[in-house]
Structure 1
Amino acid sequence: MTLSITTSEEKPEPASRPSLMSGSIAMMAVNIAAVAVGIILWAVVTSQGVVGLPTPLAVAKQAVIQAQNGLLWSDAISSLGRVFTGFALGIAVAIPVGFLMGWYRIARGIIEPYVQFFRTIPPLAIIPLAIVTMGIDETPKIFVIFLASFLSSVVATYQGVVNVDRTLINAARVLGANDFTIFRRVIVPASLPYIMVGVRIGLGSSWATVVAAELIAAQSGLGFRMQQAQLYYDLPTIFVSLIAIGVLGLIMDRIVQTTDSVLTAWQEKL
């Protein structure tokens, strides 16, 4: 006779998925409710004339006009292309440089002074130098965004490497693992949470920099549209561009969060 025994540890496993799903739905409902409350408060404040801001209805009408004539889409695509290019290049360089700084002391000694030096200089202050050395086409715009993304991400990657538990590294050496195996199987997985935080910060820095980057002789883009609207005190257009930047940034951040949850599924989270 064969007995089938189910331990108490196996029971919570099927029930955990519905709880996670219900928790995600509840959080989404809270997010939607928070946005709705914010819009209502915005409408109440502007309808009372407390501040000289456009009403949500005026901003919505302007968004429809810009969407119909294609300005909103062309500006969004231009800004999105600049942000994505600069952000992708920044992350692609920051991650290996951060690993080098964290894994090799000599590399840390060579690279860290430059990283810390440029971190104290706002990327926006590089704009005049970028214009003089790179011209006024797309190159200086992307470079400024790249710099903001790189400087925000490289430190997080470096910190992730140096914070790896030495016990894990020593245990791997005892088991006969070489440096490459330790780096691939221990350092990289343990550093991923830090790296993904750096990626999110770099993404935010990229969007924060794009408006100033589009000061460089741009002919399209959400930042460019805001600057043009400022000349005519066109507040609804400014709000449309602001909201578009926020929505695009939020979507990209959610994509990064989803990637983070997949890559760090082993990590216990609240």
Structure 2
Amino acid sequence: MWQLIISGSLFENVFVSLKRSAAGFALALLVAIPLGLVIGWFKKFERFIDPLLQIFRQTSALALFPVFILVFGIGETSKIAIIFWGVQWPILISTIEGVKNVDPILIKSARSMGASQFTIFRKVILPSAFPSIITGIRLSATSAILVLIAAEMMGASSGLGYLLYDTQVKYQIPKMYAAIITMSLIGIIVNYTIVAFENRVTKWK
């Protein structure tokens, strides 16, 4: 690991992987959270779209990787797309469940005090669903790195997945373990960063 650090190879590959993961993860947040809020709030829409969601959710991201390469090419877009597909589902499902499991008494109380639908959504639904959304984000954050590593092992010339595959093929076992340990450390850091954010934002719990 020290040899990889002083050569700059480790940081270079980590930066490339984190950039790809962040792009796919951010895209998943922008799509999955609003969509989950809408699906959870409108029950008729949920009944209509749920079968389609379940079909898509059961389709492995890695199984679709050749399709993404066919559509987007071998470059960065296909890797970001596969991360987006793989990580959006825990966020989406957790958001839907968070909205559906809001205490009905809170909603009835807000309505009895004359709150509008928008006010109920903003003041009751969102805060109540937030812990569940954060749980989905935690699951997805670590999945983003794992999905990317697998994608980089199949089609990349840089990144931690490429470093892992390259050292394995060249039988550079110490460097291979260094890459594995680095992945684990990144996962731990990301997880506890989100936990710290959750504890700070949801002190009211």
Of 86, 98, 104, the match for 2:24 = 86
Matched, 1:130 2:68: yes
> Which residue of structure 2 aligns with residue 22 of structure 1?
none
Q: Deviations over 1:126-181 (max 9, x none)?
A: 10101111100000101111111101210000000000010110110000001000
Coordinate RMSD, CA, aligned:
1.2
Take 1:137 and 1:240, find their aligned partners in 2: how far apart are those partners?
26
Matches within 5 A, 1:34-53: none
CA apart distance, 1:217: 2.9
Q: What is the match of residue 166 of structure 2?
A: 228
For 1:78 and 1:111, the matched residues in 2 are separated by: 36
Residue 217 of structure 1 corresponds to which residue in structure 2?
155
1:181 aligns with 119
Report the counterpart of residue 21 of structure 1 in structure 2. none
Structure 2 SS opposite 1:136 = coil
Q: Which runs of 5+ in 2 are unaligned?
A: none
- 1:111 matched residue in structure 2: 49
Deviation at 1:114, TM superposition (A): 2.5
Runs of 4+ in 1 over 3 A off after TM superposition: none
TM-score normalised according to structure 2 size:
0.96
Partner SS state of residue 215, structure 1: helix
Higher alpha-carbon deviation: 231-240 or 119-128 = 231-240
Deviation at 1:218, TM superposition (A): 1.1
Task: Give the number of the structure whose alpha-carbon radius of gyration is greater.
Answer: 1
* 1:254-265 → structure 2 map (5 Å cutoff): 254-265=192-203
Residue 57 of structure 1 is matched in structure 2 by none
The higher-RCO structure (CA 8 Å, 6+ apart) is 2
Identity %: 36
AA at the equivalent of 1:214: E
Contact 1:136–1:216 at 8 Å: present in 2 too? no
Shift of 1:216: 4.7
1:199 to 129, 137, 162: 137
The 8 Å contact of residues 141 and 216 in structure 1, kept in 2 or not, is answered as: no
Q: Are 1:144 and 2:56 an aligned pair?
A: no
Partner of 1:68: 6
Q: TM-score by structure 1 length? A: 0.73
- The answer for the alignment partner of 2:94 in structure 1 is 156
Q: Post-superposition shift, 1:87?
A: 1.0
Tell me what 1:249 maps to. 187
Distance 1:217 1:113 in 2: 32
Amino acid at match of 1:149: V
Q: How far did residue 204 of structure 1 move?
A: 1.6
Unaligned runs of 5+ in 1: 1-62
CA drift of 1:244 comes to 1.0
Number of aligned residue pairs: give it: 205
CA drift of 1:245 comes to 1.1
* Mapping 1:14-29, distance limit 5 Å: none
